[in-house]
Amino acid sequence: MARVLVTGATAGFGEAIARRFALRGDEVWGTGRRQERLDALARDLPRFHPVCFDVRDADATARALDGADPDVLVSNAGLALGTGKAWEADLADWETMIATNVTALARVARLILPGMVARRSGHVVHIGSVSSEVPYVGGNVYGATKAFVAQFSRNLRADLLGTGVRLTNIEPGLAETEFSIVRYKGDTDRAKAVYRGVDPLTADDVADCVLWAVDRPPHVDVSLIQIYPTAQAQGGTLLDRKT
Catalytic annotation, pick one of 136, 142, 195, 228: 142
Going by C-alpha positions, the residue among 140, 146, 55 that lies closest to residue 91 is 140
**Which amino acid, 102?**
V
213 touches 225 (CB < 8 A): yes
Pairing of strands 165-172, 224-227: parallel
- Is 228 noted as a catalytic residue in this protein? no
Q: Hey, which residues does 6 pair with through a beta bridge?
A: 30, 74
Going by C-alpha positions, the residue among 114, 184, 115, 127 that lies closest to residue 153 is 127
d(CA 110, CA 15): 23
List C-alpha distances in Å: 146 to 41, 54, 98, 130, 201.
Answer: 28, 19, 10, 8, 18
CA 128, 129, 131 angle in degrees (round to 5)?
Answer: 135
d(CA 224, CA 83): 27
Residue positions annotated with a catalytic role: 142
